[in-house]
């Protein structure tokens, strides 16, 4: 494939945009090389500015569960923008989307719309702190919850650490109340709460990690977190920015049969537009301004175009058999990839939950936490990524990310993807 136009644009972009990209993972730092610049997308495919076509397994990092430019979603957004792009005032559409979220997610009685996943998680944590009157929060290694200052903490060693900031520009004081422990380690959680439970406002986690690659919760892990937080008067927050409405119509919490106190949603809930949400029990959400004293606001929150796209997407996902079909498509792909790895005598592991999966090049052992993921062969993944890209298949440009399957992926897409994988894996 030829990439002259992408190279030219990347050179221009680096002069005016930090790193040439508006979000770091797009720069291909995790796999080497230079990014391709996208010109358009439709269904399961994207085209770059040089005219190359790719089967897309990034899906804008999760939102495009219906495929790109789905006609119903596009028309809903067009109809909305024809009436004006923003009002800064309440709309009926906001109410309808909020009602739909409350209807779908059993734990959510009230919900507030915002504009990004970072906004949703940072707001949920603020509400948890305000509701409990406590300062400390618990997060898990490898679970990314946006770029709020106090969430940019390095993964610590031992049972728990007051972590140093993971980015210059974040004062140490901003993360001193952030406690980080390994994912799937119930014993570490119990010990931490026995020591500091009276100071902990909440646990926040991805119920299925996607930002460290796909790591499912160990049996009993989520249930233990629910029991521990209730015992100590802390809140349990599920960050479903990635998993919400992807793994189940009621989110990962419905898949695993749990009710967190608060939840954050993004990506799919906005239909690919800048929209997110947080919500939960009414007695907690009633503390949010203007009903209560915990302040949170946003000029573009509930943007009419984003609300329309999100509502249309959730309506499409309500069709009978939707999630069963997604699971079948995803299983065909991962079963085929596993067979291709075996045929090529490549050792590794594919971890999948629903329509999210990650291919790890490791010794074949299950990956239970971020430390396991860091031990995988990410250089080999980089070679795999570029081999697939040159054969017209666009995987996430990092071994720490999830692959996203959409309803638009066809039998032909699957066969082409597996054919490319067989060739690449044999050549590695």
- What's the CATH code of the domain at 359? 3.90.1150.10
Q: What is the CA 310 to chain-centroid distance, rounded?
A: 16
Q: One of 54, 110, 267, 323 is an active-site residue; which one?
A: 267
- Residue 157 to residue 163: CA distance in whole angstroms: 10
- Residue 247 to residue 253: CA distance in whole angstroms: 9
Contact assessment for residue 178 and residue 137, using Cβ atoms and an 8 Å cutoff: yes
Q: Based on the residue annotation, tell me whether 267 is a catalytic residue of this protein.
A: yes
If asked whether residues 159 and 200 sit together in one domain, one would say yes
pLDDT given for residue 161 in this prediction: 36
If asked whether residues 33 and 133 sit together in one domain, one would say no
Q: Final residue of a domain: which of 317, 352, 370?
A: 317
If asked whether residues 100 and 212 sit together in one domain, one would say yes
Q: One of 48, 110, 139, 144 is an active-site residue; which one?
A: 144
Residue 17, Cβ neighbours under 10 Å: how many?
Answer: 12
If asked whether residues 332 and 226 sit together in one domain, one would say no
If asked whether residues 171 and 241 sit together in one domain, one would say yes
Q: One of 136, 163, 239, 413 is an active-site residue; which one?
A: 239
- What's the CATH code of the domain at 286? 3.40.640.10
If asked whether residues 96 and 43 sit together in one domain, one would say no
Phi, psi of 351 (to 5 degrees): -115, 125
| Mutual angle of helices 71-82 and 304-317, in 10-degree steps | 150
If asked whether residues 269 and 330 sit together in one domain, one would say no
If asked whether residues 83 and 145 sit together in one domain, one would say yes
The residues near 327 (Cβ < 8 Å, ≥ 6 apart) are: 354, 355
If asked whether residues 258 and 139 sit together in one domain, one would say yes
Residue 10: which domain range? 4-69+320-427
- Residue 421 to residue 417: CA distance in whole angstroms: 6
| Mutual angle of helices 304-317 and 322-343, in 10-degree steps | 80
If asked whether residues 92 and 180 sit together in one domain, one would say yes
- Residue 163 to residue 286: CA distance in whole angstroms: 32
Q: Based on the residue annotation, tell me whether 40 is a catalytic residue of this protein.
A: no
- Residue 260 to residue 251: CA distance in whole angstroms: 11
The total number of structural domains in the chain stands at 2
If asked whether residues 279 and 260 sit together in one domain, one would say yes
Contact assessment for residue 183 and residue 142, using Cβ atoms and an 8 Å cutoff: yes
Please tell me whether the peptide bond between 179 and the residue prior to it is cis, using omega within 30 degrees of 0: no
CA-wise closest residue to 59 among 306, 326, 282: 326
Q: Final residue of a domain: which of 302, 317, 332?
A: 317
Contact assessment for residue 120 and residue 241, using Cβ atoms and an 8 Å cutoff: yes
pLDDT given for residue 394 in this prediction: 98
pLDDT given for residue 167 in this prediction: 63
Q: Final residue of a domain: which of 259, 290, 317?
A: 317
The residues near 158 (Cβ < 8 Å, ≥ 6 apart) are: none
Q: Based on the residue annotation, tell me whether 239 is a catalytic residue of this protein.
A: yes
| Residues of the chain where predicted confidence (pLDDT) is lower than 50 | 154-164
If asked whether residues 291 and 171 sit together in one domain, one would say yes
What pTM value is reported for the model? 0.95
């Amino acid at each position: 494939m030829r990439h002259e136009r992408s190279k030219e644009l990347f050179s221009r972009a680096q002069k005016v945009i930090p790193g040439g990209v508006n979000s770091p993972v797009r720069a291909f730092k995790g796999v080497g090389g230079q990014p391709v610049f996208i010109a358009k997308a439709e269904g399961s495919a994207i085209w770059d500015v040089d005219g190359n076509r790719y089967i897309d397994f990034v899906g804008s990092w999760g939102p495009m569960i219906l495929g790109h430019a789905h006609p119903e979603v596009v028309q809903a957004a067009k109809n909305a923008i024809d009436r004006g792009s923003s009002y800064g005032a309440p709309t009926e559409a906001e109410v309808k989307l909020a009602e739909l979220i409350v209807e779908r997610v059993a734990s959510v009685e009230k919900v507030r719309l915002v504009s990004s996943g970072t906004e949703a998680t940072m707001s949920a944590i603020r509400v948890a702190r305000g509701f409990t009157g406590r300062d400390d929060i618990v997060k898990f290694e490898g679970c990314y919850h946006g770029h709020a200052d106090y969430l940019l903490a390095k993964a610590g060693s031992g049972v728990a650490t007051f972590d140093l900031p993971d980015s210059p520009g974040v004062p140490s004081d901003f993360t001193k109340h952030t406690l980080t422990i390994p994912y799937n380690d119930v014993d570490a959680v119990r010990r931490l709460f026995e020591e500091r439970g009276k100071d902990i406002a909440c646990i926040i986690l991805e119920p299925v990690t996607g930002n460290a690659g796909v790591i499912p919760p160990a049996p009993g892990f989520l249930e233990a977190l629910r029991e521990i937080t209730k015992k100590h008067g802390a809140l349990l927050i599920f960050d479903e920015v990635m998993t919400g409405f992807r793994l189940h119509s009621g989110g990962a919490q419905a898949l695993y049969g749990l009710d967190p106190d608060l939840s954050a949603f993004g990506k799919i809930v906005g239909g690919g537009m800048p929209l997110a949400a947080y919500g939960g029990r009414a007695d907690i959400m009633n503390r949010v301004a203007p009903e209560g004293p915990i302040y949170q606001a946003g000029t573009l929150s509930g943007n009419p175009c984003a609300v329309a796209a999100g509502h249309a997407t959730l309506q499409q996902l309500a069709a009978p058999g939707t999630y069963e079909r997604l699971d079948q498509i995803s299983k065909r792909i991962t079963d085929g990839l596993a067979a291709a790895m075996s045929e090529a005598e490549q050792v590794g592991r594919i971890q999948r939950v629903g329509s999210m999966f990650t291919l790890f090049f490791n010794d074949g052992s299950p990956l239970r936490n971020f430390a396991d993921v860091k031990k995988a062969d990410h250089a080999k993944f980089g070679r795999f990524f570029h081999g697939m890209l040159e054969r017209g298949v666009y995987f996430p440009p990092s071994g720490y990310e999830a692959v996203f399957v959409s309803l638009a992926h066809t039998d032909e897409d699957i066969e082409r993807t597996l054919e490319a994988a067989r060739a690449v894996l044999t050549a590695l």
